[in-house]
Structure 1
């Protein structure tokens, strides 16, 4: 066998290899890293990565590699993950593989059928594949640091890109080095990878290496290594001129020169000619086999190539040996097939085929795979491969059912690719005679399936459009049941878009289409969806009534998932109607049913709503336990970013109400690491804003609240809008903007005639009354014309219209009554009302509001001369507020003690010692910059600073740059050293 035209010496790229070696060191230290290697085709990306893999394996890392596969305009779904898993299963025992895969095994079995899914695996786990893969990678890297290489990202499908994006954002503490390679010359302006590259460039954890062409001395070294001797100047000039320093083309040109195939000096410099000349020097049988292989892609299994080529075994292997010996094909890593040495070579051969010849080879592949799917490297690839080959052959009658089959095959794990297949089927549907008879379905069903795929892929607007087309195609004369289910899908998208009234309208219209008898699945689905929409909209009586009917209908038609859903909705509505015991019983019934039938999302919703109801009725620790049980289910099923974020929000809310603020802060940071989006992200920001404002960080609270409001701007849900308004109004109050605070509150109160719930409205109304009275007192003290009492009177009236049903509701209602005793015109001071509020909040076990009401009670007792009781109330209030870290409230209590000369401890208050000079004042740092500097001095990275301060990494980087400039230092180490030299300097930092 001849020597390969590949340099046995690694030439150049020493700086890039050193960078990868440095990243490997960080991984061994327990950090996650991400490196992108870009460059034109043939520049040497794979060779560089192979050298890095060698270093990784030498230093004890496990290395897994997967390649994206070009299969038409989009890649094969999750092909690199399947290849990496295949290598993993070959290198470990079945027991070890089971332990690594964990709950990801079921969904991943659709990617790699040899994994054999566990019977009974819930189908909806596949919708959470990114989080399940994340868990698998964390388990793998815990066993041994991991290097994961994904090659040829320019061909990656949307599901692979989404998975990679998620892993880059969330893999932070695990010892994993992810390396992605891509052809920079193929990333055009609209390429799906382009915006991701821009985003990754801004991440501190990501490094980007762009490989350039070799210089003359590097080309000389490469040629000398291939030839085994230095090349003469003329040969070197020729190779450099024709290859222009591209490493792969250098190898090709050296092979041409060494073969003496034609006049090398007169060889056309065109890339295609350079790549084809060696192929054309081979025998006719070898050339034919090479052209057949090119139609399969870069790789082809041996058995499949033999079936397509139709050659006698002896002739086949003779031709294969010739191609392998001349380095046109390589034996693949699994030893079961062949691959082109470089994708450029495959492209050149493939595009040199005549149109009819190319179509003929694609037909041959399609027929071979149809007759025997076992010829493929993996049967999971067959549906997509058949669709690709029939389309490439322009055989539309064969392509249409193949596209539908490919869509069905990818439905479980790749909804974006499922949508692509279905949209292609929709494109060619009008051009296929008797399409319905050929496929056994109709256009409406294909549109419906496409709408469902778009919905699962997160394209809600696209889903609505496709369902709308299906409704138009069905027309008024179509099946009422079918039309009703399409309207159900439309109502689902409207609900997700925050258009509650429109959703209710279309769902009710769909129900009106159905006859009262006989009952069918459509009745159960519509009633369940309508009940959930009423619940989200806040119409609790309607929600309860429709949910009860939905439960009965679902039982009658054996729609058990809808039955469980309706029970959860019914229990939630009962809670808001004040039926605590019935609510918890109903929720538990729905939850247990969901668990029995494997309806994972319904079960998580059951845990979520159960924890919410327990919190409503003051069972804070039970609420935390319930939410944590749901959170554990979310972790097992890969739903941490969605339901998991809601459940984490419930845990945090109960912690805040119990006064466990530091623990709540840590839980927020932990939950944000999963990178939730949309309303899921907003649910955590609501809690972060609340803790910030109660702690006295008004600016920070306002910023977080504004960020959250931007995410829920189209939502009508009070559970987000009213708490955010209260936090923003409190931040304005702390800043002294009482007028702005009142405007914020009044803007969040529902208009007359619109339902509003005591749970969310009473805290907002109480705050508005408190601020309105503060304005009146301030005006009296300044002897100025006070604001009108009309707003306070309106708020008091609104509060009277609400029915307090929970301990917190009753506490706010009594606090509202007590606040009115502070009005200038309220008459002689009385502490009775505040005593009632204190008693209510003590029963509710919420220390912040208890501390506030004790503070007001002490204030009234001072006014009535009950100084002994005032001291006790103020001392308890101060202890609670200071213990929480509620600085604004503890400051108000302290100010009262000073005004009234109350001694809050056994020792009389002394004049405070003068504050020591602040050594940091000279640098002019803002409050936020001091927080960032404190974290920087503690060794935090920009990403960690961003997570702890709830800002973006880019904003953290800007703050760090400004700090370094103000301190006059050149780097982070110098800045930290300066801080530590200034003994006794206190730099506030959250989370430390």
Structure 2
């Protein structure tokens, strides 16, 4: 079922660049290079027709094209609406054996697409997004697939997240093309699509196009085609003046609507739309009015019952729909649902009814729906909430809105949940006490609604609603509830860039309120703990006393939750010898409590302390295990407190790049706060640069700075990521300039943070200093940064026997500083750097250091065999990671020095298998299929297949069985 122009798709005229772009995207997807195309323009401009023509033309030969449509009325009431449609379309056309192959293990998708089949037990909503991605990959294994989602300006939030997840997860070999159309003229201020477009448009393999109105020559060609005449005379000028180059209105005018010109552009166009409707018989006109008030595709048998309930002939429905379809007004999908051929018609036809008539139709829908079981349960509540509201039945609309919100929340449809909760909030003053009792107190409903808004990524709305709830509270309201409303506000404002970075004063006010209204309560403890965090951030060591007070108060309350908050934040204050113990205890207590927000905060505090002592692997485990746990529990935005973007940065540093990709994919598919979104983009930028996609890296950096401008705050990982990406891009001067700007803030945070910045600066200076013309400048810039680091604390100080990271950083700094100075005897320094990086698990740095070692040996006329060995090791490690720039640099040096690189690490050596490959190898050894492995690890079947191929090649094995045998013999499965 396509929305679009009245005529056939082949009536498109002009648009040559756009046609070529779509054809190129289809060609790329067929060749295993996935693409996404975002098509925009005003209503009726021909977006859908252009896409329909492209996906049915020669360029789409062999592609399976699946369509999903977003609906304007009640668009947010049904999570995953267009995704369910395209899955249902595929199910209707698939052979039973193909359905069995693709849908194995995907039974939970029946919650959004009943055509998938029956599901058993309670659906696990947390798996819907990865399951859809896995199903799409399996469909694409049989041939290239095009997913078209029409009118995404009306898309539900869950569908937008899922589309972003698909696009963020594009991988080589994936035969998938995603096309989305939207009306850019209907995106008002604050529309959720603005942020989505800004994020998705900057992902790799995404292109955008905007369709403009047709010129006079194109309109003439279109009129000639439609009328099958060569001489159209003044008719073209008349139509062009009336439709202003809009293809849809042009076609309507040609088909007879020109008999009803309006006085002005807008009025005339409405007349054009109504012209075809007026020419229908009375039964057809009435039926289309009912359909328009339905708000979305309506089952034909529901329309028949509705007509019968109004005293009409239900047998007239099918002939009336046939008449409307012949006039280009409606279409009936294979599944037996009717809707308008173009959404504009629905808007105008709905406008032909008076307010009283609309209310009556809504009430009639209620009567039919309440006596019918035709709608799926998840949609039934949302429809009844909509129609009760339209009928003026406030109590019923309130109750059904709450039920619909519960059902949306059950499938993680946070955007849909908040729409229903907003309706309930708006009805609060209109409903009776019995209905209100379903929601609890007013503050309870406002609290839930604001939490839902935050979870849906509507961060500014969440803040405003929470502030509104605080203003509406009566003095006699529950003081504990009042505190719960206030506690997260400061962190929300900071995350959205509305408050100063620290939020100290705001949190002091909350503490004062707690002392006045609920002294000594767990909420008072939490307020104190959050104040400690803010004060520690700005080096206000009044935090030490506040932390001690919070711990004592927490122990007096006997609350495990309060003690977890107090210990977590005390870990950020001196004396430092107990900080790790405090953070560990807080993390354990938070898990006992089970509160997602507290668990995320505690995880980040523990990660901070582990990072200080160089236990980076444990940092990854704490942050990412917590993140995945909270996401699986449905607390996506609470999971952000576990700082998954920081965890991804650690994964990247440790060479766990497949895991980095999976985390980034999930993060990039959600509407994050400005702060978290910026850091995520910073990690994505560094990842893109290190895998060889410099353009994508720069695009991610641009988006990061749109979300959060530079400010040089202490402990700001985004600044570090940007400087590191610039250094890797060989923008050495800019990297060094920014490093000098950031260094004072890093020193004020911790010397260890400053040391990490020194390593990056030395690498940039080393690159700049390799050219003798830039050496003096490089030395001067690096010396300035070293001086800013200061002599108060020894550089790269090892914090204990478990700390392998700081010695490795010290070795890298020494080697790159010598390179910057043009020293001619650096091989020993690079040899130490290779060894220490390998011991610390800093895989990318190990590869880079080994490359520099090979260069140094060649330059110093050392052993060519040793140089060749170092270069081979660098290439092997870099290739295992996917670090294409290092591989290219190694090959270029080897070519120039006539060094052979055919002696890579032996198959099956521990360094030749990445951590993700070892994980998959263990599952292969258990006899798991690619599909089962993908489900277990939440990655696509295609990704698993690629990993298995790499494993077989590295183990020199011909089959999975042989690979398992070789791996056991070599001790790789222990």
**Would you say how many aligned residue pairs link Structure 1 and Structure 2?**
790
Whether 1:81 and 2:83 are equivalent positions in the alignment is: yes
Distance 1:488 1:115, change over 3 A: farther
| Aligned match of 1:208 | 209
**CA–CA separation in structure 1 for the residues paired with 2:439 and 2:282:** 44
| Correspondence 1:460-859 to 2 at 5 A | 460-490=459-489, 492-493=491-492, 496=495, 498-502=501-505, 504-506=507-509, 508-509=511-512, 512=515, 562=561, 569=568, 577-579=576-578, 582=581, 586=585, 589=588, 613-619=609-615, 642=640, 643-653=643-653, 655=654, 663=655, 675=668, 678-679=675-676, 681-682=678-679, 685=682, 711=708, 718=715, 720=717, 745-746=743-744, 750=748, 759-760=752-753, 799=793, 809-810=797-798, 846-850=807-811
Shift of 1:637: 8.1
The question of whether the paired residues in 2 share the 8 Å contact of 1:685 and 1:705 is answered with: no
Distance 1:432 1:582, change over 3 A: closer
**CA–CA separation in structure 2 for the residues paired with 1:736 and 1:419:** 44
Q: Secondary structure at the match of 2:466?
A: helix
| Aligned match of 2:829 | 877
Q: Secondary structure at the match of 1:10?
A: helix
Distance 1:846 1:12, change over 3 A: same
Q: Secondary structure at the match of 1:718?
A: coil
The question of whether the paired residues in 1 share the 8 Å contact of 2:45 and 2:248 is answered with: yes
Q: Secondary structure at the match of 2:32?
A: coil
| Aligned match of 2:69 | 67
Deviation sequence 1:24-66 (CA, Å, 0-9, x none): 1110112222234455555554444334443589743332211
The question of whether the paired residues in 2 share the 8 Å contact of 1:416 and 1:453 is answered with: yes
The question of whether the paired residues in 1 share the 8 Å contact of 2:46 and 2:248 is answered with: yes
Q: Higher relative contact order by CA 8 Å / sep ≥ 6: 1 or 2?
A: 2
| Aligned match of 2:368 | 368
Q: Secondary structure at the match of 1:310?
A: helix
**CA–CA separation in structure 2 for the residues paired with 1:507 and 1:266:** 67
**CA–CA separation in structure 1 for the residues paired with 2:459 and 2:152:** 27
**CA–CA separation in structure 1 for the residues paired with 2:154 and 2:564:** 40
Distance 1:138 1:637, change over 3 A: farther
| Aligned match of 2:294 | 296
Q: Which moved further from structure 2: 719-728 or 424-433?
A: 719-728
| Correspondence 1:250-329 to 2 at 5 A | 270-273=268-271, 275-276=273-274, 279-280=277-278, 282-297=280-295, 299-311=297-309, 315-325=313-323, 327=325
| Aligned match of 2:31 | 29
Shift of 1:490: 3.2
| Aligned match of 2:223 | 219
| Aligned match of 1:356 | 356
Distance 1:684 1:576, change over 3 A: farther
Distance 1:492 1:316, change over 3 A: same
Shift of 1:449: 2.6
**CA–CA separation in structure 1 for the residues paired with 2:531 and 2:392:** 46
Distance 1:880 1:317, change over 3 A: same
Shift of 1:481: 2.3
Shift of 1:301: 1.5
Q: Secondary structure at the match of 2:29?
A: helix
**CA–CA separation in structure 1 for the residues paired with 2:247 and 2:815:** 78
| Aligned match of 1:181 | 181
Distance 1:131 1:716, change over 3 A: farther
The question of whether the paired residues in 1 share the 8 Å contact of 2:587 and 2:606 is answered with: yes
Deviation sequence 1:613-662 (CA, Å, 0-9, x none): 55543445565666676687689789799543221222345x4xxxxxxx
Shift of 1:880: 3.3
| Aligned match of 1:977 | none
Q: Secondary structure at the match of 2:147?
A: strand
Shift of 1:336: 2.8
| Aligned match of 1:973 | none
Whether 1:379 and 2:383 are equivalent positions in the alignment is: no
**CA–CA separation in structure 2 for the residues paired with 1:767 and 1:18:** 43
Q: Which moved further from structure 2: 58-67 or 566-575?
A: 566-575
Distance 1:161 1:854, change over 3 A: closer
The question of whether the paired residues in 2 share the 8 Å contact of 1:571 and 1:583 is answered with: yes
Shift of 1:162: 5.7
Q: Secondary structure at the match of 1:148?
A: strand
Shift of 1:68: 0.7
| Aligned match of 2:147 | 148
Q: Secondary structure at the match of 2:302?
A: helix
**CA–CA separation in structure 2 for the residues paired with 1:247 and 1:689:** 44
Q: Secondary structure at the match of 1:60?
A: coil
- Which of structures 1 and 2 has the bigger CA Rg? 1
Distance 1:487 1:612, change over 3 A: closer
Q: Secondary structure at the match of 1:34?
A: strand
**CA–CA separation in structure 2 for the residues paired with 1:21 and 1:855:** 48
Shift of 1:139: 5.7
Shift of 1:305: 1.9
**CA–CA separation in structure 1 for the residues paired with 2:448 and 2:212:** 43
**CA–CA separation in structure 1 for the residues paired with 2:210 and 2:721:** 43
The question of whether the paired residues in 2 share the 8 Å contact of 1:154 and 1:193 is answered with: yes
TM-score normalised by L of structure 1: 0.61
The question of whether the paired residues in 2 share the 8 Å contact of 1:148 and 1:178 is answered with: yes
Shift of 1:79: 2.4
Q: Secondary structure at the match of 2:82?
A: helix
